[in-house]
Amino acid sequence: MKKQHSHSHRELELLNAIRRIGGFARNSELANVLDVSEETVRRTIKGLSKSGTIARVHGGAYLVGTQSDPSFFKRIAQNSDEKRLIAQEAAQLAADGMTLFLDVGSTTAFVAEELRVHHNLTVVTNSIRVSQTLVGHNDNRVFLLGGEMQSNELGAFGHVTETQARRYGFDRAFLSADALSSTIGFLYLDPAEADLASVVIDCADITVAAMTHHKFDKTAPHRSFHPSEIHTLVVDQAPEKPLATSLEKWDVALRVSKKENDHE
């Protein structure tokens, strides 16, 4: 009979923290929650991964046996430093008391974390991750849209989701995309995500797109809104021509996140 692994107090604390956060967490996030160093978190994760309880990804870990596609957690872990800086910049476009929409994008998940300092927000989202991040903080209200759940995105899509989204008026909508083409604009791998983005933009006063430079001049099969409907694009690096020229033609304002060692 296989001997069952007995978890230490620290390991149990970390497991409970990951469950509360939503099944995936970055090392820095766990260090803050548990009030320990990131090195302590990494050692604890290493021990838990040997027992098969959690799986490690770059910069974090996720619970083994969740119903979610592991690719979701891996996407959040990719380019996490750039996404965090983009999120810090994007969150400055929100203010206390606003009504916001946040989609299921991995960069948007970082934006949600940065919004936790705000008060009295009304947050509408189709993302389980976003809702778990913001619910119960600073008198914020969170509305999770219904619809068919997609495990690879940990979010809801489809007719029900779009119908419910139309009931709101958003001061700001924070959207992601899978690619940004200099000739076509913002593109998506999933047609349902493209459809929902178009609906949300129609309901938003100002729409903010957030993405890393790795998606510049890439391609994906599904179009959504016209690129001129994006008010601001927040990125980690300024695009080069011809993409920069296209953004100017589309009248999309560009905000480039500041590196941590940048000075005012």
Q: Average per-residue pLDDT in the chain?
A: 89
Q: What DSSP element (H or E) covers 113? A: helix 106-114
Query: How confident is the model at residue 259, as a pLDDT?
Result: 75
Neighbour order of strands in the sheet with 204-210: 141-144, 122-125, 99-102, 170-175, 204-210, 232-235, 253-256
- Do residues 129 and 154 lie in contact, with contact meaning Cβ atoms separated by under 8 Å? yes
Residue 4 tokens, joined: 């069952």
Q: What percent of the chain has pLDDT over 90?
A: 68
Per-residue pLDDT reduced to its tens digit, 121-161: 999 999 988 998 898 889 999 999 999 998 777 899 999 99
- Return d(Cα 105, Cα 176) in angstroms, integer: 5
Phi first, then psi, for residue 102 (nearest 5°) are -130, 135
- Domain limits, CATH 1.10.10.10, in the chain: 9-66
Q: Which CATH architecture has domain 9-66?
A: Orthogonal Bundle (1.10)
CA-to-CA dists, residue 209 to 20, 57, 71, 101, 107, angstroms: 28, 26, 22, 12, 10
124 versus 63: the higher-pLDDT residue is 124
Query: How confident is the model at residue 262, as a pLDDT?
Result: 58
- Do residues 154 and 104 lie in contact, with contact meaning Cβ atoms separated by under 8 Å? yes
- Domain limits, CATH 3.40.50.1360, in the chain: 80-256
Tell me the CATH number of domain 80-256, given options 3.40.50.150, 3.30.465.10, 3.40.50.300, 3.40.50.1360.
3.40.50.1360
Query: How confident is the model at residue 82, as a pLDDT?
Result: 94
Query: How confident is the model at residue 70, as a pLDDT?
Result: 55
Going by the DSSP 8-state scheme, the letter that residue 216 receives in this structure is B
- Return d(Cα 235, Cα 216) in angstroms, integer: 10
Query: How confident is the model at residue 66, as a pLDDT?
Result: 58
Please name the amino acid found at residue 182.
S
Instruction: State the sign of the Cα–Cα–Cα–Cα dihedral 162, 199, 107, 214.
Output: positive
Kindly report the CA angle at 133 between 132 and 138, in degrees rounded to 5?
A: 110
Q: What percent of the chain has pLDDT over 70?
A: 91
